[in-house]
Amino acid sequence: MSDLPSPALETLAYHNANLISLRLDFCGHLDDASFKVFSTSLPSLQRLELLGPFLVRPAAWQAFFKSHPKLEAFLVTQSPRFNEACMASLVKNCPGITDLRLKEIGHMNDSFLSQIKLLKGGLRHLDLSDPTESCHESAMIVLMRSIGKSLTHLNVSKHSLLGDQFLSKGLQPHAKTLQSLTLTHLPELTDEGVSNFFTAWKNPPLLSLDLSRNEVLGSLALQSLVNHSGKQLEELNINGWKDVGEDALKVIGLLASELKKLDVGWCRAVDDFLLKMWFEGELVRGVHKGGCGNLQEVRVWGCNKVSHSCPRKVRFFFFVCWCFDLLTFFAFAEGHQCSWCRITHISLKLAVR
């Protein structure tokens, strides 16, 4: 959307009055004038997702919230003018918010959290990641006490003041329905603290967990989190856990059978044998035990022990495109191959767009 000027964005609103969900990426030309049209010409809007609305000022944000009391999802990234007054207006006028993203918000501070905790109507998705300055741990614990019981998704990455106390006093007692948790770039976390948290946490197994770029985390944390969530975990990111041991990494292959995406970049112990164990399982008395049969993607950037001869699953795509007026055909020949076995199946898919 970066090439669309403000008048074009106004036209978009004028001609789509019945929109209930709108997402605009790279909308740097969205200004007060065009956003005012959003307020007046999109009365049915329930979900708004914006990336880069740099020019929208506080008064325009507040006018939008007043005109959309039934707003359910407000997902914004990179809005340097969004301040505490805007947050207060959102809470006051849109009490039914269930999904909230305030990512890379320059004014983010503890006062924002004081407003967010008033949203007690069932906030499910909360993303407060990548602030200019971290909120304090005590304020985040109070926030979890207020709204943690309904959360299914939480991302507080780069709030660098958060540590083990946030886990033990914020998440452990108050967040018990989470499905997705993202806690990256939190230097105050410790291996033992994260291990103790997952051991004691009564939350059901997570589906997605991202603890990347926390370089002090290691074997204790990995074993505990896999014991807690391994049976249902589909996505795991431990990129940057440089000192995690081989035995702990093996536990992934033994317990995380539903895993689809795995990032172990810069984990020094990862090698060809570990990859094979994740794919095939561990050979015990002639029988393969465990294995991540659903793996679709493994990222091993910076793993210097992984060689060109490592076992792998490869997806081959042969892309052919023909354009006939309004129809475009895409043909994909898709095969899955392991270096230690032959191709298991080949399928041909034809899609018309």
- State the CB neighbour count (10 A cutoff) for residue 293: 13
Provide the pLDDT for residue 286: 78
Residue 78 clears pLDDT 70, i.e. is over it: yes
Show the CA angle centred on residue 144, arms to residues 140 and 146, nearest 5°.
115
Query: Which is it for strands 314-317 and 327-337: parallel, antiparallel or unpaired?
Result: antiparallel
Under the banding of pLDDT at 50, 70 and 90, the label for residue 169 is: very high
Same-domain pairing of 250 and 213: yes
Provide the pLDDT for residue 310: 86
Same-domain pairing of 205 and 306: yes
Residue 351 clears pLDDT 50, i.e. is over it: no
Phi-psi region of 31 (alpha: psi -120 to 50; beta: other; left: phi over 0): beta
Q: Give the chain's mean pLDDT.
A: 89
| Residue among 249, 276, 292, 283 at smallest CA distance from 338 | 276
323 part of a folded domain: yes
Same-domain pairing of 258 and 330: no
Residue 90 clears pLDDT 70, i.e. is over it: yes
As a whole number, mean pLDDT of residues 188-217 equals 98
**pTM given for the model:** 0.87
| Residue among 35, 45, 105, 93 at smallest CA distance from 73 | 45
Do residues 200 and 172 make contact, with C-beta atoms less than 8 angstroms apart?
yes
Kindly give, in sequence order, each residue whose CB lies less than 8 Å from that of residue 273, ignoring residues fewer than 6 positions away.
Answer: none
Same-domain pairing of 300 and 320: no
Domain that holds residue 336: 313-353
pLDDT tens digits, residue range 277-334?
999 998 888 787 899 999 999 999 999 999 988 887 655 333 333 333 333 323 333 3
What is the DSSP secondary structure assignment for residue 206, as one 8-state letter? P
Backbone angles phi, psi at 76, to 5 degrees: -125, 135
Question: For residue 44, what are its two tokens?
Answer: 């049915």
Same-domain pairing of 343 and 241: no
Consecutive H or E run containing 92 = helix 84-93
Same-domain pairing of 247 and 343: no
Percent of the chain with pLDDT strictly greater than 70? 88
What is the DSSP secondary structure assignment for residue 219, as one 8-state letter? H
As a whole number, mean pLDDT of residues 248-268 equals 97
What total of structural domains would you count in the chain? 2
Same-domain pairing of 307 and 319: no
**Which residue bears the tokens 């191959």?**
337
Provide the pLDDT for residue 89: 98
Same-domain pairing of 232 and 297: yes
pLDDT tens digits, residue range 218-228?
999 999 999 99
Higher local confidence (pLDDT), 312 or 157: 157
Same-domain pairing of 275 and 255: yes
Provide the pLDDT for residue 287: 80
Q: Could you give the CA distance from residue 353 to residue 204 in angstroms, rounded to a whole number?
A: 40
Which of 143-157, 160-174, 222-236, 335-349 is predicted least confidently? 335-349
- What CATH number is attached to the domain comprising 306? 3.80.10.10
